[in-house]
Structure 1
Amino acid sequence: MALVFRWLIRLAAALLVLSVLAVSMVYWLASRSLPDYTAEVRVPNLERPVEIVRDNANVPHVFGSEDADVFFGLGFAHAQDRLWQMTTLRRTAQGRLSEVFGATTLDVDKLLRRFDIYALSVASLEAMDEKTQNALRAYAAGVNARLDQINDDALGRGAPEMFLFNAPMAPWRPADSVAIIKLMGLQLSGHLDAEVVRARISLALPDEARIRDILPDAPGAGVAALPKYAGLFPTARQFSQTVPFKPHPLSPFKRTALAGASNAWAAAPSRSASGGTLLANDPHLGFTAPAIWYLARLELQSGGVIGATIPGVPVVLTGRSADLGWGLTSSYLDDQDVYIEEINPANREEYRTPDGFKKFLTRSSIINVKDQDPVTLTLRWTDNGPVLPGSHYNLASVTPPGHVVSVNWTVLSQRDTTLQAAIELMSAKTVGEGIAAASLFIAPSQNLTLVDRETIAMKTIGAAPKRDPNHQSQGRMPSPGWIAANRWQGTLPFTANPGFVAPAGGILGNTNNKTVHRPFPNHMSFLWGDTQRIQRWQRLMQGRQVHTRDSFIEAQLDTVSFTARSLLPLIGAELWFTGEAAPAGTTEALRQRALTLLAGWSGEMNEHLPEPLIYATWLRALQDRLIRDELGPLATEFEHVEPLFIERVFRDVEGASAWCDVFQSAPVETCADMARLALDDALLEISQTYGTALESLRWGDAHQATHDHPVLGQVPVLRYFVNIRQSTSGGDHTLMRGRTKGSAPNPFHNVHGAGYRGVYDFADPDSSVFVTSTGQSGHFLSRHYDDLAQLWRRGEYIPMSLDQDLARAASVGVTQLIPQNQ
């Protein structure tokens, strides 16, 4: 027995030693790809030395003799810190994810191939001037220099993910950067999804007033009545069973509720306490680890620029120079139309046009799939754009038999000069020069907010489609592609885009709200990203005669929900302080406790408070009760509360209170009944998940920011190293926006928000500040993987300075890039 015991001890010890050795080997291999920031590297394709100084937040400050050298250095820095992110972005745009991830990403690849993003990016290079092409070539050479260093020095394949997935990285090409910008365009748009949903709702609801309830227009001047979808297609019905649209984490296609958003506001010297202009910007995108944004400073011949870049793209997209600050918000310009194309019954290779049937433009595309046979895909294009599969956003549900769907979209331009505009913008010195540079911007459309030392301005940039006044659906729903009036007639001139320069009030801003009202076809959009945050922003801006950098920061971090303040008195009007005290332990007693808490609540969506969780769960349950019987399975399309819908119902606008009655039941339910029942539903859900101690609830426990690794985030054990989870304040309708997931499980997870925040003060530019939501490095073993995350969560920032001495002070390293022939 003793002998057996001794051998068991020896075996356990051996297994322990082997485990330690295995873990040590894995760590050693993974750590080999951690970049050495203090190094002298000899690189090819560089004519003059480049210096990369990384400040104490690991922000690279790139110095070179010529602009091409600086872009080379930025490419090298991006590849040092975000190589895996860059390769997945490029593979996504190329439709080549399945070569690495197998069949799980095959549908993503098929869809991206149909859009032909990469071929369009290659074609767009020819439309750009020599300066832009030189910048792209220099940047690509910098990325490739880092790849050469990784291969020559055996630096762990450049990223730990490269060990887990056999993903050899081909040299970077200029077109790759163009493709990533187009990829961002796919991610930021919600119009395609919105068109399909509106068509499906039109088929499901016979009353046009009820369509206006559930899909309300942003407040403002009225919009003329639209034809029903059934009017466009007389035999229209729900053509196929719908399935939930749940894109792969690497897919750029998001639901409308999770498409692009952002905040930006500016103050003229007359409204600034210091006498200088102010600008704040926080673009909103889906959270990932690492964040999509990467901070950098470039010392160009025209002067230094500093701000947020996207790895793979040699541009500071939002930031400042010594003379000019610029910020971006999604404009929601309607730059996308969906078409129903009729196939020739006698020849399925043809589709109907205004001039008769015409052959599809076709091309075969082969997708290599890991561990499987290649898949050959036939790509088809019409005059209106690429033909899409019926599974995309449930297009099949609104496509009659014998038809297919195509889409026209400005992001599909073959002469996309967006990157040229962005590079020119970095050299602009004044608001006028910035607007002129932005005239070359094609897609994705944005609102560009600009400040120089004296003037503030906002201009919608990007190509706006020119539509026929007789367009049958005004671009709000899929329309027949063979009707000439439905087709685009080119694009409007840049001068037609809305613009505001030096407003008399000295303050301007955008929260994705409706900016202008113009009758169709010169409209901006029927779909806007915000009707709520703008209300709070107006109050904060007009509540002060003058503003400071700190008051702009305060507005960026504001978590008071105008929506909660306006809706709670409506939905709870007949519930508060009614009846006698209920016995302890009853549903009525729990309801009264919840209402008492909400009655004294300011509407602040603070992570430490219980009221935001009660409010959010109640509103979610209420909307579901209101729409479930009328819409049936279509109710799953509305995962986020629409405040204008709730308001219309409880104010009985155009008879909207009809939603409160469950038509399948004999009793006639009132809106007060629905509010009470929904609150009971919410409290039951909360009790089952968090317990009945309402006063001890924390909104932050439900509203966790989910910066998850899109590939390794679901892998057991590894997910604890690569995912960054944080309790956060804010919500769907607060200025510090924390857009919730919407779907179960964990419907209140914070999945979409400000991955970058910047505030620029031109009275004292070096007092400007910025931060990202994770860290600079994409390597989860790096201390810079999540070192900015806690600052971001706490509402703190780091300095944004163009002072070289400050950059060098306490720097984490200086990299010298030396031409190979020197």
Structure 2
Amino acid sequence: MKRTLTVIAVVVAASAAGGYWYVDSKQPLREGELTLQHLQATVEVRYDERGVPHIQAQNETDMYRALGFVHAQDRLFQMEMMRRLARGELAEVLGAPLLETDRLFRTLGIRQHADAYAAKLDPNSPATVALQAYLDGINQYQASRPAPMEFDLLGIQPRPFTAADTLSVAGYMAYSFAAAFRTEPVLSYVRDQLGSEYLDIFDLDWHPEGVVGQPLAAGDWKDLGAIARISHEALLDAGLPQFEGSNAWAVSGSRTASGKPLLAGDPHIRFAVPAVWYEAHVSYPGFELYGHYQALNPTASLGHNRNFAWSLTMFQNDDVDLVAETVNPDNPNQVRHRDAWVDLLQREETIQVKGAEPVTVTLRRSPHGPLINDTLGNPSGSTPIALWWTFLETDNPILDAFYQLNHAESLGKARAAVEKIEAPGLNVVWANAQGDIGWWAAAKLPRRPAGVNPSFILDGASGEAEKDGYHPFTDNPQEENPPRGYIVSANYQPLSPTGIEVPGYYNLPDRGQRLNQHLADAEVKWDLQNSQALQLDTGTGYGPRVLAPILDELRAAASDDQQRALVEQLAAWDGDHRVDSVATTLFNQLVYQLTRQAMHDELGDSFFDSLLFTRVLDSALPRLTANADSPWWNDRNTEATESRADIVKAAWQASIAHLQSTLGQDPATWQWGPAHTLEHGHPLGQQKPLDTVLNVGPFEVPGGHETPNNLSHKVGPAPWSVVYGPSTRRLIDLNDASTALGINPVGQSGVPFDRHYQDQAEAYVRGEYQPMHLDQDDVQRHTRSQLTLRP
């Protein structure tokens, strides 16, 4: 027995030692010396207490090469998954369940577009030189260090990263902005199958000339519903970043305590682990920047130094049109375009599938763009739907744009850089130490025919889908140094200085109005402390606005004293999404039940599910509750004609029953925090038991949909999982940029078991901020390790 126990002990110890050695071999190297080929001089990399690298090089290409190397140390698996998602190569490592997603991205043509774009890059341009040096650093790391453990789990064979991979990821980011995939089929279905009176709550003009020449058949609507589902699931299931909204504001020195401009920014992105942003402080003689970088991108998307700072929000302009094509009855490979029959272009691509035979897909393109029906393989309908997308149609020198923005210390240079951003649409909010503040809505805005509403599927045969060029950048919404002394950007409908229409899928104005209400207070001098409070604000006027018209119906629906007390809590609720609020929980459950009771019978499962993920629903609900005569209130599944009061009563009782069954019989336990949680999911964390090892959380969190602290969840039944929110919170006072504050929602590293994998997660939930070290003395004081890269 003793000998047996001894043997078991030795085996266990050996296994533990082997496991420790394996995990340790995968960890980033943050101290010591390494050789990096193609360097011209030694590069010093100091790591601070959060694992942020401070890279000091002697020239620009060495700086970018070192950045690629250290970025890959922490985020190589994220880089691999991002390029595979964008290029339609996930099934090769994740198997047949990802085949739908791969078909979608192959259909969109991002891969083909990126390959062609990469072939045209000017090899001598500063942006291209920077990109190639950065990619060389990544590839040197990949070739010289052990592969991430996720590579071992999935059997990924490393291959070099290329400029086409970087451009493909840019395409994915642009696609993740595009709400049209989910919104236009829903709105077109409402218009064409239900009638114009059902559009009233969406505040959309009725344009009968926009109806497609040949009405879509049942099979076509089925296909559109399936495409909307695949489009959403491709983003949801990948566990990778998706841009959703954002806040940013700049305050001029006349309105700050320091007398210099202050910049605040918190882009709203789908939560995942690792987080989207990689922080790095980079420098060489004559240049310095503290930046937030995306995977496979050498230039910072967000950044600051002592002279200037900028942040981003989504513009949310409509840069995608879905176009129904008319097929030649004598030739199924031709469609009507500009009064003539034209051939569809066709190509084949092969998708590798793990554990199965490769799948060859046939992809077609009309003059308006790729046919998205090909996503389905075997569509039910007969109407080809083309995708016209600014990203595929413009030159879009986005690499040059952000390279120049990283160096733009003056208002004029920043404006010139931003003008090069053509797709996706971005609001750039900028400030400098000289006292300037500016905002530019960056996008190439197409000129559509008069009277055409791009919120609906367009008719490709009638000429409505044609574009006669693009508006000049001077037409884009923008402001520089406004007299009021501040600028706010929060994804609401912006106004063009020349009065042109700027269609899009914008967020509610509530979040922007709440920020503006505080920033407009001339008695307040803004500093880092009160700016933190504004970023962490959990209030909104949206909830009380939705509830006000139906409070009497809710009082009539309450069946006992306990329910009547709950209605009065709602009536008194100020919209603040605090963790201890019961009214917040009740409101969010009621919103879902109202939506379902009123709209599911008209839309059916597919289009109703799509509607829940659109921004137009947010705008529709206040109009719906305010209109007792809306046709949506009638339940088509009954012979009676229901009123608003009938539906409100049914929604109220269903809400109470659901909360009792899921959160307990005592309403005092229905607090928002326990019902509203944040878990950062790893791409492999959807599989048990990997979820317990790779995912981070869950955490009880405040905030909610369209509060400034926009910790947002899907409209649905309790409990709620937070889907997206502030991907970082940044505050920079340009009086002294060395005092800048920020936070990462999880941690700097994407390497499991690394000490920086989740070391900021709890601080983020508590609303804490961390210093972003800029001064060399400050960097030296906070250095925890140093890595020297030698030629």
The structure-2 alpha-carbon separation of the partners of 1:742 and 1:109, relative to structure 1 and needing over 3 Å to count, comes to same
* Identity %, equivalent residues: 27
**Counterpart residue identity of residue 321, structure 2:** D
Structure 2: how far apart are the matches of 1:768 and 1:395? 54
Structure 2: how far apart are the matches of 1:318 and 1:665? 54
The structure-2 alpha-carbon separation of the partners of 1:270 and 1:476, relative to structure 1 and needing over 3 Å to count, comes to same
**Counterpart residue identity of residue 71, structure 1:** Y
Q: Is residue 747 of structure 2 the alignment partner of residue 775 of structure 1?
A: yes
Q: Is residue 402 of structure 2 the alignment partner of residue 422 of structure 1?
A: yes
Q: CA deviation at 1:330?
A: 0.5
Q: Is residue 159 of structure 2 the alignment partner of residue 174 of structure 1?
A: no
The structure-2 alpha-carbon separation of the partners of 1:414 and 1:734, relative to structure 1 and needing over 3 Å to count, comes to closer
Q: CA deviation at 1:566?
A: 2.3
Structure 2: how far apart are the matches of 1:564 and 1:664? 29
Q: Is the 8 A contact 2:634 2:643 kept in 1?
A: yes
Structure 1: how far apart are the matches of 2:236 and 2:691? 22
Aligned to 2:788: 816
SS at match of 2:35: strand
SS at match of 1:357: strand
Q: CA deviation at 1:24?
A: 4.4
Aligned to 2:442: 461
The structure-2 alpha-carbon separation of the partners of 1:368 and 1:631, relative to structure 1 and needing over 3 Å to count, comes to closer
The structure-2 alpha-carbon separation of the partners of 1:364 and 1:638, relative to structure 1 and needing over 3 Å to count, comes to closer
Structure 2: how far apart are the matches of 1:262 and 1:435? 20
Q: CA deviation at 1:201?
A: 1.3
Q: Is residue 150 of structure 2 the alignment partner of residue 161 of structure 1?
A: yes
- Of 386, 390, 396, which aligns to 1:406? 386
Q: CA deviation at 1:174?
A: 2.4
Structure 2: how far apart are the matches of 1:82 and 1:530? 35
Query: Deviations for 1:190-213, whole angstroms, at most 9, x for unmatched residues?
Result: 12321111111112312x232121
Q: Is residue 311 of structure 2 the alignment partner of residue 327 of structure 1?
A: yes
Query: Deviations for 1:234-255, whole angstroms, at most 9, x for unmatched residues?
Result: 4655635445815586648999
The structure-2 alpha-carbon separation of the partners of 1:355 and 1:632, relative to structure 1 and needing over 3 Å to count, comes to closer
**Counterpart residue identity of residue 358, structure 1:** V
Aligned CA-pair RMSD: 2.9
**Counterpart residue identity of residue 429, structure 1:** E
- Of 135, 141, 151, which aligns to 1:140? 135
Q: CA deviation at 1:258?
A: 7.7
SS at match of 1:795: coil
The structure-2 alpha-carbon separation of the partners of 1:761 and 1:595, relative to structure 1 and needing over 3 Å to count, comes to same
SS at match of 1:295: strand
Q: Is the 8 A contact 1:466 1:490 kept in 2?
A: yes
Aligned to 1:186: 175
The structure-2 alpha-carbon separation of the partners of 1:353 and 1:752, relative to structure 1 and needing over 3 Å to count, comes to same
**Counterpart residue identity of residue 468, structure 2:** Q
Aligned to 2:184: 195
**Counterpart residue identity of residue 147, structure 1:** Q
Q: Is the 8 A contact 1:291 1:775 kept in 2?
A: yes
Q: Is the 8 A contact 1:202 1:229 kept in 2?
A: no
Q: Which runs of 5+ in 1 are unaligned?
A: 1-5, 218-223
Structure 2: how far apart are the matches of 1:657 and 1:468? 31
Structure 1: how far apart are the matches of 2:688 and 2:760? 25
**Counterpart residue identity of residue 196, structure 1:** P
Q: CA deviation at 1:784?
A: 0.4
Structure 1: how far apart are the matches of 2:378 and 2:181? 9
**Counterpart residue identity of residue 544, structure 2:** R
The structure-2 alpha-carbon separation of the partners of 1:688 and 1:739, relative to structure 1 and needing over 3 Å to count, comes to same
Aligned to 1:659: 632
**Counterpart residue identity of residue 750, structure 1:** V
**Counterpart residue identity of residue 130, structure 1:** S
Q: Is residue 783 of structure 2 the alignment partner of residue 807 of structure 1?
A: no
**Counterpart residue identity of residue 499, structure 1:** Q
SS at match of 1:756: coil
Aligned to 1:3: none
**Counterpart residue identity of residue 629, structure 1:** D
Structure 1: how far apart are the matches of 2:9 and 2:694? 25
Where do residues 523-672 of structure 1 align in structure 2 (5 Å cutoff)? 523-545=501-523, 546-576=525-555, 587-633=559-605, 634-639=607-612, 642-652=617-627, 656-662=629-635, 664-665=637-638, 669-672=642-645
- Of 271, 283, 292, which aligns to 1:287? 271
User: TM-score, normalized by length of structure 2?
Assistant: 0.92
**Counterpart residue identity of residue 286, structure 1:** R
Where do residues 326-365 of structure 1 align in structure 2 (5 Å cutoff)? 326-365=310-349
Q: Is residue 201 of structure 2 the alignment partner of residue 226 of structure 1?
A: no
Q: Is residue 665 of structure 2 the alignment partner of residue 677 of structure 1?
A: no
Structure 1: how far apart are the matches of 2:189 and 2:378? 10
Aligned to 1:718: 690
Q: Is the 8 A contact 1:203 1:237 kept in 2?
A: no
Aligned to 2:423: 443
Q: Is the 8 A contact 1:71 1:138 kept in 2?
A: yes
**Counterpart residue identity of residue 199, structure 1:** S
Query: Deviations for 1:109-161, whole angstroms, at most 9, x for unmatched residues?
Result: 222222232332233242556111100111011111212321xxxx3x2x111
SS at match of 2:584: helix
Query: Deviations for 1:408-457, whole angstroms, at most 9, x for unmatched residues?
Result: 11222473310110011011112221011111112211011111121111
Query: Deviations for 1:611-660, whole angstroms, at most 9, x for unmatched residues?
Result: 211111112112221223333433333326945433223332xx644433
Q: Is the 8 A contact 2:488 2:516 kept in 1?
A: no
Aligned to 2:199: 211
Q: Is residue 254 of structure 2 the alignment partner of residue 276 of structure 1?
A: no
Aligned to 2:81: 88
**Counterpart residue identity of residue 212, structure 1:** D
**Counterpart residue identity of residue 447, structure 2:** K
Q: Which moved more, 1:51-60 or 1:14-23?
A: 14-23
Q: Which runs of 5+ in 2 are unaligned?
A: none
Q: Is the 8 A contact 1:741 1:747 kept in 2?
A: no
